[in-house]
Amino acid sequence: MATSTIANPILKVATRHMTTDLDLTTGEAAALLALAAQVKRSPRKYAHKLTGRYLALLFEKPSLRTRMTFELAIQQLGGGAVFSEFNGHRIGDREPIQDVARNLERWVQGIVARTHDQRTIDELARWSAVPVINALSDLYHPCQALADFFTLQEKFGELRGLKLAFVGDGNNVAHSLLLTGARLGVDVAVATPPGYEPNPEVLAAAQALAAASGATLRLTHDPFEAVQGAHAVYTDVWASMGQESEARRRRKSFACYQVSEKLLAAARPEAIFMHCLPAHRGEEVTDAVIESPASVVFDQAENRLHAQKALLLMMLS
Ligand code: CP
Ligand code: NVA
């Protein structure tokens, strides 16, 4: 996990953060998935583990799943959360981000932030003496990826050797799936339209993780090539939050990248369909696919709760 020591002179011990997927070591990511399984099986055992611990939730963008599951997770562990919505504003608009961090650290034991710019999360982490967790930025969605690989592990038992195909925009969710998948030994293929490929720096970091784990990564513009041999076919919206003005143009560019029954049938016979949600039926996925028995989208949503409980136990205990 990222650490902050330099910025705050009164800080004695390095604070761990999860600003990107890169902040968890491979051992920590595997331990988190194992803990999530235990927490899911025996929630009562963990009911008082974070008594008296509070989270600040700072959200610059809308949320259903992330907000609900963080609030419920901390409450079910005995703690509490305070939500602050920055609708239409940025966290640093009213006062410097470094001051926001140094106020919050006096009141709460953790900061969960959903931002437009990754830089905002990095800056919060630089100044905060309490852990900062990325709840989605323009570049990453690490909490989503943790829940997704937990879901894959539940469905298939062993992650190593699985293949996940992501079809659509090379966005924050694709980045986190590449990084965490490569780390955990899952082969990841990404099919995007030309011009919408994943960020090259994120890709390079994922390649380094894949080299260490033995996973393979593949980029293509052909969705049928990507899904070949895949255990999971994953998609996300074509225009992410903050890209609403590009929606019409993107609908044209992405028209051939819809996850349809035909595309899903080109994956393995037992392949599952995954989506972080919210979904735009009729755009990135057909109604038939998202409502099909192959769809695990609500299991993913449920697992956000269990995976984030495990994350909070690891970061705030
Ligand atoms: N998948 C996800 O992060 O959903 P929300 O935007 O509703 O939090
Ligand atoms: N890529 C999407 C994910 C939403 C959970 C977005 O950033 O809007």
What pTM, to 2 d.p., does this model score? Answer: 0.96
- d(CA 149, ligand 1 centre) in Å: 16
pLDDT digits (tens, 9 = 90+) for 194-247: 999 999 999 999 999 999 999 999 999 999 999 999 999 999 999 999 999 999
pLDDT for 14 equals 76
CA angle 113, 187, 196 (to 5 degrees): 60
CATH 3.40.50.1370 in the chain: give the residue spans: 21-140+303-316, 144-300
Nearest atom within ligand 2 for CA of residue 277: 5
Q: How many C-beta neighbours within 10 Å does residue 310 have?
A: 25
pLDDT digits (tens, 9 = 90+) for 34-79: 999 999 999 999 999 999 999 999 999 999 999 999 999 999 999 9
Please say if 231 is a catalytic residue. Answer: no
| Mean pLDDT in residue range 146-161 | 98
Show the ligand 2 pocket: residues with CB < 6 angstroms. Answer: 136, 171-173, 236-237, 240-241, 276
DSSP state of 160: T
b/e map of 149-169 (b: 16 or more CB within 10 Å)? bbbbbbeeeebeebbbbbbbb
Give the gyration radius of the chain's Cα atoms: 19
Domain topology for 144-300: Rossmann fold (3.40.50)
- pLDDT above 80 (res 7): no
Q: Which two tokens stand for residue 46?
A: 């963990």
Peptide bond before residue 142 is cis, with ω within 30 degrees of 0 = no
57: left (phi over 0), alpha (psi -120 to 50) or beta: beta
Please say if 304 is a catalytic residue. Answer: yes
Please say if 114 is a catalytic residue. Answer: yes
- d(CA 189, ligand 2 centre) in Å: 19
pLDDT digits (tens, 9 = 90+) for 87-127: 789 999 999 999 999 999 999 999 999 999 999 999 999 99
168: left (phi over 0), alpha (psi -120 to 50) or beta: left
Query: 157: pLDDT confidence band, cut at 50, 70 and 90?
Result: very high
Query: 85: pLDDT confidence band, cut at 50, 70 and 90?
Result: confident
Of 85 and 309, more confident: 309
* Dihedral over Cα of 294, 299, 304, 309: its sign: negative
Please say if 160 is a catalytic residue. Answer: no
Using a 10 angstrom Cβ sphere, with 0-12 exposed, 13-18 middle and 19 or more buried, the burial of residue 111 is buried
Look at domain 21-140+303-316 and name its CATH class: alpha beta
CA 297 – CA 231 distance, rounded (Å): 15
- d(CA 26, ligand 1 centre) in Å: 25
DSSP state of 52: T
DSSP string, 84-148: EE-TTS-TTSSS-HHHHHHHHTTT-SEEEEE-S-HHHHHHHHHH-SS-EEES--SS--HHHHHHH
- d(CA 141, ligand 2 centre) in Å: 8
Residue nearest ligand 2's atom 6 by CA: 240
Asked if 33 and 61 touch (Cβ cutoff 8 Å), the reply is no
Q: Which two tokens stand for residue 276?
A: 């972080």
pLDDT for 87 equals 76
Please say if 141 is a catalytic residue. Answer: yes
Q: Which two tokens stand for residue 290?
A: 């998202």
* 224 three-class SS: helix
pLDDT for 12 equals 42
> Could you tell me whether strands 163-167 and 132-134 are parallel, antiparallel, or unpaired per DSSP bridges?
unpaired
- Ligand 1 pocket member 276 (CB < 6 A): yes
pLDDT digits (tens, 9 = 90+) for 166-202: 999 999 999 999 999 999 999 999 999 999 999 999 9
CA angle 186, 215, 303 (to 5 degrees): 20
Asked if 254 and 193 touch (Cβ cutoff 8 Å), the reply is yes
Average pLDDT, the chain: 96
